[in-house]
């Protein structure tokens, strides 16, 4: 089976090649650095399937073009599938499969890194000390023990975050339409508005869907405690970035830590250090001392990349052997 792998970086190739070597009949992987879009879909010519990542464009026109080329499967190297038009894929009879859980602890630990860094200003302390400035002004944090953290989405990653923060002695509030008993054993469920009003830190761990785009908007930001911290390692468009900038400028929002950004495609996963970045919203965010941005690296651990590659090959094999795929994404 021949598979076009889009948005390939060296590390993807390393882990996919390693998994392919374990296959009794290795797959023919055609690596493309380019992301998938209507402009690049022709790279899938002659392939049985494609393999994509978070920012590849897998909308109806792209799916129709893939179908026209004879492609039968779309394999995501990630958990989120908000970039795929599942309806369109189903109508065309294309299998869409994902990697539903790979080291949720990896994303949870990165979330904690953002919280700890922003709270104790270690990103600023690092630079200060290297310049011989040992002043503490501006580095004041809060003791996390006893503070309330609101977790929006208490699934695998949200629960892993909750377990770590439980160890810190934080009070935990959760908002999720499907509460898990594992979470309620250590935290309390709340409605969204009360979670926002009661939390010193709010962290997002729910998938992006057509129903919750900009779920954190100016109204919801207004409900948050003055000086609270907002963390998003889930999907950028859950948060209205423009509203967040206003909340930071008014000093109502205390700090922001994001690993995802609503317009991250074209920025994240690329070296843009020699370019003029013309996204003024993103550039405004970069001017705040109390904003920390990482470029979608929450998943980026050896263990997670190995798991992504292994599950991706299990998914390839479902299509190759005509088996039903346990990781298929179906319209709810």
Burial class from Cβ neighbours inside 10 Å (0-12, 13-18, 19+) for residue 186 reads middle
By CB under 6 A, tell whether 233 contacts ligand NAI.
yes
Query: Could you confirm whether 264 is annotated as catalytic?
Result: yes
- Helix residue ranges per DSSP H, the chain: 10-21, 60-68, 86-92, 104-120, 122-130, 156-168, 181-184, 192-198, 218-223, 241-249, 280-285, 302-320
List of residues 6+ apart from 235 with CB closer than 8 A:
80, 82, 207, 208, 260
By CB under 6 A, tell whether 235 contacts ligand NAI.
yes
Q: Which is nearer to ligand NAI, 156 or 225 (CB)?
A: 156
Q: Tell me the per-residue interface mask from 126 to 155 with ligand NAI, x by CB under 6 A, - otherwise.
A: --------------------------xxxx
Query: What residues pair up with 94 in beta bridges, in sequence order?
Result: none
Cα 74 from chain centroid?
19
Q: Which is nearer to ligand NAI, 208 or 229 (CB)?
A: 208
By CB under 6 A, tell whether 79 contacts ligand NAI.
yes
Q: How far is the CB of 50 from ligand NAI (least distance, A)?
A: 20
Burial class from Cβ neighbours inside 10 Å (0-12, 13-18, 19+) for residue 140 reads exposed
Q: How far is the CB of 197 from ligand NAI (least distance, A)?
A: 16
- Under rule CB under 6 A, how many of the chain's residues touch ligand NAI? 29
By CB under 6 A, tell whether 101 contacts ligand NAI.
yes
> Token pair of 217, please?
């908007």
Among 74, 107, 248, 256, binds ligand NAI (CB under 6 A): 107
Q: Which chain residues interact with ligand NAI by CB under 6 A?
A: 79-80, 101, 104, 107, 152-158, 175-178, 205-208, 212, 233-235, 259-260, 296, 298-299
């Amino acid at each position: 089976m021949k598979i076009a792998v889009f948005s390939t970086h060296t590390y993807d190739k390393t882990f996919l090649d390693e998994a392919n070597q374990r296959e009794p009949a290795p797959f023919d992987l055609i690596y493309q650095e380019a992301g998938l879009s209507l402009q690049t879909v022709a790279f899938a010519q002659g392939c049985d399937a494609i393999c994509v990542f978070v920012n590849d464009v897998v909308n109806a026109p792209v799916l129709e073009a893939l179908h026209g080329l004879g492609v039968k499967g779309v394999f995501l190297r990630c958990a989120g599938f908000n970039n795929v038009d599942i309806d369109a894929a189903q109508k065309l009879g294309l299998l869409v499969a994902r990697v539903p859980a790979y080291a949720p602890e990896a994303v949870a630990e990165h979330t904690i890194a953002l919280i700890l860094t922003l709270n104790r200003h270690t990103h600023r302390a690092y630079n200060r000390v290297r310049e011989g400035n040992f002043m503490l002004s501006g580095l004041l944090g809060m003791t996390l023990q006893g503070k309330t953290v609101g977790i929006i989405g208490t699934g695998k990653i949200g629960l892993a975050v909750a377990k770590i923060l439980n160890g810190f002695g934080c009070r935990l509030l959760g908002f999720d339409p499907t509460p898990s008993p594992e979470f309620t054993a250590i935290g309390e469920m709340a409605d969204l508005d009360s979670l926002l009003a009661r939390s010193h830190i709010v962290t997002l761990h729910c998938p992006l869907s057509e129903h919750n785009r900009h779920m954190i908007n100016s109204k919801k930001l207004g409900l948050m405690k003055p000086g609270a911290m907002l963390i998003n390692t889930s999907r950028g468009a859950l948060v209205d970035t423009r509203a967040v900038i206003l909340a930071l400028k008014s000093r109502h929002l205390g700090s922001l830590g994001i690993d995802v950004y609503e317009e991250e495609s074209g920025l994240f996963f690329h070296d843009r250090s020699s370019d003029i970045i013309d996204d003024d919203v993103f550039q405004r965010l970069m001017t705040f001392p109390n904003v920390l941005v990482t470029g979608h690296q929450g998943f980026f651990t050896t263990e997670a990349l190995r798991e992504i590659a292994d599950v991706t090959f299990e998914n390839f094999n479902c299509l190759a052997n005509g088996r039903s795929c346990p990781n298929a994404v179906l319209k709810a």
